[in-house]
Amino acid sequence: MKRFIVTFLALCAAGALYAQKSIGDVIERFDERLSQRNIPTAEIAVGGIYFGESGTNGTAAGWMKDEIAKAAVTSRHIKLVRPSLSDVQAAQAVKSRGLPSGMTAAKAVSSKKKYTLTGKYIENKAKGLVNLTLNLEVTENGETVLFASDTAVIPTAELAEYDLTLYPPNISQAEAIAKDFAKAESFLESKADAGGKSRTLAAVQKQPQEAAPATDTKMQADDAARAEGSSMTAQSDAPAAQDGENSGDAEKSAVQSPKTAAPASSKKENGAVQITAAMLDSENCLADTLHPGDTVKFMVSTNQDSFIRIMGIDANGNTFWLPVKDNFMPADVVRTFPDDEDTDYQVVDGVYGAEHLFIYAATDKSQLPDETSEQKYRPSLITNTTRGITGVKKHKKLTTGVFKISYTVEP
């Protein structure tokens, strides 16, 4: 009898494990849902897959995306496509649900139906499992809804077999920054209601000769860092790029404004400036994982005429500023940065882990944060920086905003 009970429990455990869905099972379920809705083909862009609420990931995220791609090949209704800025705007629209009524997401660039697949995973150490929840969302005419959602279960041993990590080595800093940024966002929402040496991403001068070896951990440029000592500088002796030129394929404003305040706009201002941004790799794909030597660019848009500055925090907690030639952003115009043809944003050393970029926008230049010298991240740095740009001048209403891009640098 005792042996029978033990055998029965073992069979139940095996059955429960068998019932758990793999990534392929989840993709197959999404494919069936598309078939039930009589959708012959859905072009789906795979967005970010992150560990919990950290906004970062480990090497396991890349493996998860590969498994999604393999499963999609055998599906009947799923066609994976490269993500675009409009896919990011769709994701941002989801995030903007529940904001004060005066705040809206950035204007959608297309009314075409778009599908975006994103994921979030957590670890159950007691059971030796990783739960990956995949969400398939569809956006049409500016409205985003959840089309399907399901959870895949991955044995931790399977990830260990491939020597994959769930999160970056500096996960504690990443989680602290995520909480800090959430406080900064809450502060802006409340205002709307009321009315280094270890840098990894650097601005470098484009060189006609072959790239320096990967072991070079210094910024590859002719000049030394600026006297201010910020860990991110534009190093270039080349003539400035002509106005209107752009290193990317996105539209850039022809306006090169010398003013300190954005010109009057016929658009109604809606509280805090809403920013939409995406980081693209050299092949114009959305990037959330980088490696030494990679070059990136950013596509940015705002819903109001604004000025921007870009601050970064590297894996070691050092802050830096990315150089911007013309920081004026006309409302609802997508611009690409770097906006100087002689400058690249490049990963130039071997410091690994989660890193973050913060795009600050303000309708008045004076409200942008100062590009201070290099400093270490400390609790509430983002919140305090955001608080510092929300002042109000006499007889003038000023609006500001902040947007976060997270990425992970891996060997």
Candidate from 17-26, 192-201, 396-405 with smallest mean pLDDT: 192-201
**For residue 30, what is the enclosing H or E element?**
helix 23-36
Angle at 22 between CA 20 and CA 25, to 5 degrees: 100
Record the pTM: 0.68
255 pLDDT band (50/70/90 cuts)? very low
Backbone angles phi, psi at 402, to 5 degrees: -145, 145
pLDDT at residue 238 is higher than 60: no
Q: Where are the alpha helices (DSSP H) in 162-285?
A: 171-194
pLDDT at 259 over 70: no
Cα 36 from chain centroid? Answer: 33
State residue 370's pLDDT score: 83
Residues 41-48 have a mean pLDDT of: 92
Predicted confidence (pLDDT) at residue 113 exceeds the cutoff of 70: yes
Per-residue pLDDT reduced to its tens digit, 265-282: 434 444 678 898 888 888
Dump pLDDT digits (tens) for 290-315.
888 899 999 999 999 999 999 999 99
CB atoms < 10 A from the CB of 114, how many? 23
- Assess whether pLDDT exceeds 70 at residue 105: no
The β-bridge relationship of strands 353-362 and 306-313 is antiparallel
Between CA 282 and CA 271 the distance in angstroms is 35
Distance CA 126, CA 224 (A): 51
Neighbours of 122 (CB within 10 A): 14
DSSP 364: B
Lowest-pLDDT range of 110-119, 136-145, 317-326? 110-119
Q: What is the pLDDT of residues 209-233, one digit of tens each?
A: 444 443 333 333 333 333 333 333 3
Phi, psi of 122 (to 5 degrees): -135, 160
In the predicted structure, residue 239 carries a pLDDT above the cut 80: no
| Better pLDDT: 92 or 48 | 48
Q: Give the model's confidence band at 161: pLDDT under 50 very low, under 70 low, under 90 confident, else very high.
A: very high
pLDDT tens track for 314-350: 999 999 899 999 999 999 999 999 999 888 998 877 7
Nearest CA-CA partner of 320 in 373, 380, 386, 379: 373
With a CB cutoff of 8 Å and minimum separation 6, the contacts of 11 are none
pLDDT, averaged across the chain: 74
- Phi, psi (rounded to 5 degrees) for 267: -75, 145
Please state, in angstroms and rounded to a whole number, the distance separating the CA atoms of residues 98 and 209. Answer: 51
Averaged over 237-253, what is the pLDDT? 38
For 348-358, the pLDDT digits (tens) are: 777 899 999 99
Residue that wins the pLDDT comparison between 330 and 234: 330
Confidence (pLDDT) at 236? 41
Compute the C-alpha angle 226/227/228, nearest 5°: 90
Tell which residue, 97, 144, 142, has the closest CA to residue 117: 144
CB contact at 8 A, 238 and 304: no
Rounded to whole angstroms, how far apart are CA atoms 179 and 227?
A: 32
Tokens at residue 394, please?
A: 């006499």
Looking at per-residue confidence, does 134 or 372 come out higher?
A: 134
> What pLDDT sits at residue 85?
55
Q: Give the integer Cα–Cα distance in Å for 408 and 44.
A: 23
| Listed ranges 33-42, 173-182, 240-249, 392-401; the one with the highest mean pLDDT | 33-42
In this prediction, residue 199 has a pLDDT band, given cuts at 50, 70 and 90, of: low
Helix (H, G, I), strand (E, B) or coil at 194: helix
What does the block give as tokens for 129? 């499992």
